[in-house]
């Protein structure tokens, strides 16, 4: 899914990274770490999406490492939007997990002094916007009763701050199509593209780089002024 989302976001200052230490900037990792006493804990994060402010400026150096990205994020943290995305195939058994983590990240202060959100001075409130989302390729038929708006597992993720998605057409009160994730969470960055909207931006990119899809499939990434 990271490949697909990065393809949708190509030519924008937004990156979709697998949640690994060598992929995610330290500022984001610090902000999403929960301290329970002296024990660190993190959500079941699969992907982290974030914009890199200033990366599309003509004078910006090449983003050659996560450390370089982290430097820009720390300098412009209030201009950074972050989306934590959990991806699962079994919706019914996993829906409660993103719901609870979304609540945790939204808490300003826990009654217990032994629980804090964020470390080293960073927290979800450090960013311009912070959201949590869930995406699934559910087992079974998409139009089955298992995905009725009234089912508990559907209701659990309906109000996520970053919304709920699946790899199927949008179904009202159930889930958005995954191709709506960029606009839903990074509308400002898409509005800043030459086209000013997502579909127009993708058409613009493909006109400039007609071999983009083939390059992605062959891991031969073309040069670009963006991230």
* 115-124 pLDDT tens trace: 899 999 999 9
As a whole number of angstroms, the distance between CA 55 and CA 168 comes to 32
Q: Is residue 58 part of a domain?
A: yes
Residues in the chain: 227
Query: What is the model's pLDDT at position 185?
Result: 97
Which residues, at least 6 apart from 2, have a Cβ–Cβ distance to it below 8 Å?
Answer: 16, 17, 18, 47
Q: Is residue 227 part of a domain?
A: no
Please report where in the chains the tokens 């950074």 appear, as a residue.
80
Rounded Cα distance, 172 and 200, in Å: 25
Q: How far apart are CA 201 and CA 106, in angstroms?
A: 32
Residue 165 in any domain: the answer is: yes
CB-CB neighbours of 211 under 10 Å: 11
Given a cut of 80, is residue 60 above it in pLDDT? no
| CB atoms inside a 10 Å sphere around CB 149 | 12
Name the residue among 118, 119, 123, 116 with its Cα closest to residue 36.
116
Q: Strand locations in the chain, DSSP E?
A: 14-18, 33-36, 39-42, 47-51, 81-88, 115-117, 129-136, 164-166, 176-177
Examine residue 113 and state whether it is found in any structural domain, yes or no.
yes
Number of domains in the chain: 1
Q: Does the pLDDT of residue 137 top 50, yes or no?
A: yes
Of 70-79, 106-115, 156-165, 217-226, give the lowest mean pLDDT range: 217-226
- 185 in any annotated domain: yes
94: containing domain: 2-217
Q: Does the residue 225 lie in any domain?
A: no
Asked if residue 222 belongs to a domain, the reply is no
Please give the residue that has the higher pLDDT: either 2 or 132.
Answer: 132
Model confidence over 171-183: pLDDT tens digits?
999 999 999 999 9
pTM score = 0.89
CA distance 169 to 17: 24
């Amino acid at each position: 899914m990271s490949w697909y989302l990065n393809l949708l976001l190509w030519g924008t200052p937004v990156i979709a990274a697998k949640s690994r230490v060598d992929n995610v900037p330290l500022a984001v990792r610090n902000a999403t770490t929960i301290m329970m006493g002296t024990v660190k804990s993190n959500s079941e994060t699969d992907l982290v999406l974030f914009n890199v402010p200033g990366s599309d400026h003509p004078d910006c150096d090449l983003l050659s490492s996560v450390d370089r990205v982290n430097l820009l994020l720390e300098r412009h943290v209030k201009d950074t939007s972050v989306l934590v995305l959990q991806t699962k195939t079994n919706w019914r058994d996993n829906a409660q997990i993103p719901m609870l983590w979304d609540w945790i990240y939204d808490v300003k202060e826990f009654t217990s002094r032994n629980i804090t959100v964020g470390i080293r001075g960073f927290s979800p409130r450090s960013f311009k916007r912070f959201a949590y989302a869930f995406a699934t390729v559910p087992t079974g038929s998409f139009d089955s009763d298992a995905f009725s708006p009234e089912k508990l597992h559907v209701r659990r993720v309906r109000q996520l701050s970053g919304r709920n998605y699946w790899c199927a057409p949008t179904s009202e009160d159930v889930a958005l199509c995954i191709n709506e994730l960029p606009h839903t969470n990074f509308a400002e960055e898409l509005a800043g593209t030459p086209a000013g909207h997502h579909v127009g931006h993708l058409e613009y990119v493909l006109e400039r780089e007609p071999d983009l899809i083939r390059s992605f499939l062959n891991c031969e990434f073309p040069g670009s002024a963006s991230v």
